[in-house]
Amino acid sequence: MIQIAVCVCLVPDTASVFGFSGGALDRSRVTEVINPYDEYALEEALQLKERLGSGEVTVFSLAPRSGSKALQKTLAMGADRVVLVEGEGSDPWRTASILSRALTSWYSDSLPGIVLCGRQSTDFGSAEVPGMLAELLGLPSVCGVGLLEGGQDGVFRLEREIEGGREVLEVSVPVVISAEKGLNVPRKTSMRGVMEGRKKPIEIVDGPTLEEARVGLAGLRPVSNKKNCRIASDAGELAGMLHERGLLQ
Amino acid sequence: MSDNTIGSEGRVHNRLMVLEQREGVLKGASVDLWHRMQMECGGSELRAVLLGPVDGENPLGQLLGSGVIHHAGDERLREYDPRLYGAVIRSLFEGEGCSELLFADTALSRDLAPALSVRLGASLLSGCSALPRDRSCSRRLYSGAAEGNFVAASSRAIFTISPSSIPLELATGTVPEVLPLAIPALRGDDLPSIVRQVVMQVGMVDVAEAAVVVAGGRGMGGAEGFTLLEELAFLLGGTVGASRTAVDEGWRPHGEQIGQTGKLIAPRLYIACGISGAVQHLAGISGAGTVVAINSDPHAPIFEATDFGLVGNVGEVLPDFIAAIRDFLKMQ
């Protein structure tokens, strides 16, 4: 039976109001949700388990204890259990190090066949954790995967988009894969799923605090995209404006 | 070989940049980065590593300015292989005693840089909006609502740099020295290779690399509406992009999506048609030069981030706009 690990982080809902005070996000006005990219990763894990007819899907998340409420959704979607690694996310290196230790200690002697992550988070969006995690685990990785097939014989066929084309890859388990938007359509949670999810375990483990951050956040400021717009009266005038600016070549 | 002197306080960092080729052609984004670094370093020598063979006569002729290019032209590096690419870069970086490694922000560097940062024990700063200064750089966060300034804490650092629309001033008269570089012996702990095949779509310029981008959103009304945008993009020598809505509706492929969950673009001219301008979209175009918007809603937020605007239904005004542009182009 294949072990499938899914790494999930919590991010402010993009529908929230983003206010900033004292160089940090004002968290009183945001709701924390599962990172949308991680939902693609989880959905792929669930589909893989269904396709193979067996498997165990474990969600790992570095989050404060209060995050377990938002993580319930992963159980309602169909994950078998959640391992909440207690702590705060900081720089990608520390996050990857903590997740790597959590995975090796949870699975002790053998790594899971596949570790699925979202390509990036929607808050800081560095897209670095999956690749770092793979290297720390000593596994190959493929980032930004838009198609994942096979797996029955321990070999996956993948596709990922590159500039002006796509790459087709074949990888053997164990492997770390990060999910691009469009990999699948994450399922909605049903009432039954929510009820069943409540019976499944959320294990809380201590996050190690050994690693130092390798990147510091020196400052954070709200930005404005404002420009002074000149409105043209018709299409001809608009084209004239571009011509004047020397933009038509 | 002299060290590169970077930074206002005369701090010395030894920088190495990575030049990328795909299918035997130098990648525009990395050529652009080479020239941006030339502009900034003011005559001191740049050092770069180019991975894989480059085809054609005088294929490196487009790289101007002084410096040294270590060219690992081995056929085995023609296609991206994280194991080999990592080994070549690591061996040169360590052998030359470098402290900073720079990449253009591309699909390749997004894949390779995180693993390399672990191997080198380096800080990793991805998606920098400009060249790093004093080991720090900025990047948009929270769907583009904020900008964060990040600083490398380790003695080694890797930066991946987003495209920029700031015009280049090319140094002329000097060309870099090219030195051949062999693939180092691989260590036993290197990961197995992954079988790869690259399928390129001919004639498709990526939105992240195009000088002109014409994009459509909900206001295009459907996939057919994009025919007009293709015509306009062709006329301007540009490429077509799309808003998240247009991609979610299935009108355009995901690779064309511009914004926080798509690509960050930096064309000199960006034309948004029927795109309302959600903050996530605006984050994706913050590097663009001149922004033009056509939208039927005069209160659409896109107009606040626009240099030149036109209020009107895209389906009605675009044919006139295309005709007017064609007239101007004929005059030249």
Query: B165, B180, B195: which is the final residue of a domain?
Result: B180
pLDDT in tens, A78-106: 999 999 999 887 799 999 999 999 999 99
- Residue A67 half-sphere exposure, CB side, CA atoms within 13 Å? 28
Measure the CA–CA gap between B265 and A178, rounded to whole angstroms: 22
How high is the mean pLDDT of chain B? 88
Residue B196 lies in a domain: no
Nearest CA in chain B to A235: B321
**Radius of gyration from C-alpha coordinates of chain A:** 21
Tell me the CATH number at B304: 3.40.50.1220
Q: Please judge whether A223 and B80 are an interchain contact, meaning their C-beta atoms are less than 8 angstroms apart.
A: no
One domain for residues B233 and B176: no
Residue B2 lies in a domain: no
- Residue-number span of the structural domain to which B319 is assigned: 212-331
Measure the CA–CA gap between A193 and B214, rounded to whole angstroms: 44
One domain for residues B53 and B159: yes
One domain for residues B21 and B164: yes
One domain for residues B167 and B246: no
Q: Does A130 touch chain B (CB under 8 A)?
A: yes
Q: Please judge whether A234 and B306 are an interchain contact, meaning their C-beta atoms are less than 8 angstroms apart.
A: no
Chain A segment 69-98 residues within 8 A of B by beta carbon are 92-93, 96
Distance, in angstroms, between B317 CA and closest chain A CA? Answer: 6
Residue B248 lies in a domain: yes
For A126-238, strand residue ranges (E) read 141-150, 155-162, 165-172, 175-179, 202-206, 215-222, 230-232
* Helix ranges, chain B (H): 28-41, 82-95, 107-120, 226-235, 244-248, 279-284, 314-331
pLDDT(B239) > 90? yes
One domain for residues B273 and B219: yes
Measure the CA–CA gap between B200 and B214, rounded to whole angstroms: 22
* Residue A23 pLDDT: 76
Residue B195 lies in a domain: no
Chain A residue numbers touching B162 (CB-CB < 8 A): none
| Contact of B318 with B240, CB cutoff 8 Å | no
* Residue A29 pLDDT: 79
Chain A residue numbers touching B109 (CB-CB < 8 A): none
Report, as an integer, the average pLDDT of B101-125.
95
Distance, in angstroms, between B279 CA and closest chain A CA? Answer: 9
One domain for residues B102 and B175: yes
Distance, in angstroms, between B20 CA and closest chain A CA? Answer: 12
One domain for residues B172 and B39: yes
CB atoms within 10 A of CB B62: 12
One domain for residues B53 and B172: yes
Tell me the CATH number at B41: 3.40.50.620
Report, as an integer, the average pLDDT of B76-93.
93
Residue B166 lies in a domain: yes
Residue B205 lies in a domain: no
pLDDT(A226) > 90? no
pLDDT band at A8 (very low <50, low <70, confident <90, very high): very high
One domain for residues B176 and B29: yes
Q: Please judge whether B304 and A227 are an interchain contact, meaning their C-beta atoms are less than 8 angstroms apart.
A: yes
* Residue B189 pLDDT: 56
Measure the CA–CA gap between A130 and A133, rounded to whole angstroms: 5
Pairing of strands B146-152, B136-141: antiparallel
Chain B residue numbers touching A161 (CB-CB < 8 A): 107, 254-255
Residue A63's DSSP bridge partners are A86
Domain tally, chain B: 2
Reply yes or no: is the peptide bond before residue B301 cis, omega within 30 of 0: no
One domain for residues B144 and B32: yes
ipTM above 0.85, yes or no: yes
Report helix, strand or coil for B178. Answer: strand
One domain for residues B25 and B163: yes
Domains identified in chain A and CATH numbers: 3-221 (3.40.50.620)
Measure the CA–CA gap between A139 and B1, rounded to whole angstroms: 37
One domain for residues B222 and B176: no
Interface test with B, best of A223, A230, A245 (most B CBs within 10 A): A223
Distance, in angstroms, between B76 CA and closest chain A CA? Answer: 17
Chain B residue numbers touching A130 (CB-CB < 8 A): 114
Q: Please judge whether B119 and A135 are an interchain contact, meaning their C-beta atoms are less than 8 angstroms apart.
A: yes
pLDDT in tens, B120-137: 999 999 999 999 999 999
Q: Please judge whether B80 and A143 are an interchain contact, meaning their C-beta atoms are less than 8 angstroms apart.
A: no
How high is the mean pLDDT of chain A? 92
pLDDT(B197) > 60? yes
Measure the CA–CA gap between B57 and A141, rounded to whole angstroms: 36
Question: Mind spelling out the 3-state secondary structure of A93-132?
Answer: HHHHHHHHHHHHHHHCCCCCCEEEEECCCCCCCCCCHHHH
Residue B119 lies in a domain: yes
| Contact of B139 with B177, CB cutoff 8 Å | no
Nearby residues of B152 by Cβ (< 8 Å), 6 or more positions away: A214, A215, B122, B123, B125, B132, B135, B136
Residue from the list B194, B199, B310 with its beta carbon closest to the beta carbon of A238: B310
Residue B201 lies in a domain: no
Residue from the list A160, A215, A230 with its beta carbon closest to the beta carbon of B123: A215
Measure the CA–CA gap between A116 and A107, rounded to whole angstroms: 15
Q: Please judge whether A93 and B123 are an interchain contact, meaning their C-beta atoms are less than 8 angstroms apart.
A: yes
Distance, in angstroms, between A204 CA and closest chain B CA? Answer: 27
Q: How many CB pairs under 8 A join A and B?
A: 255
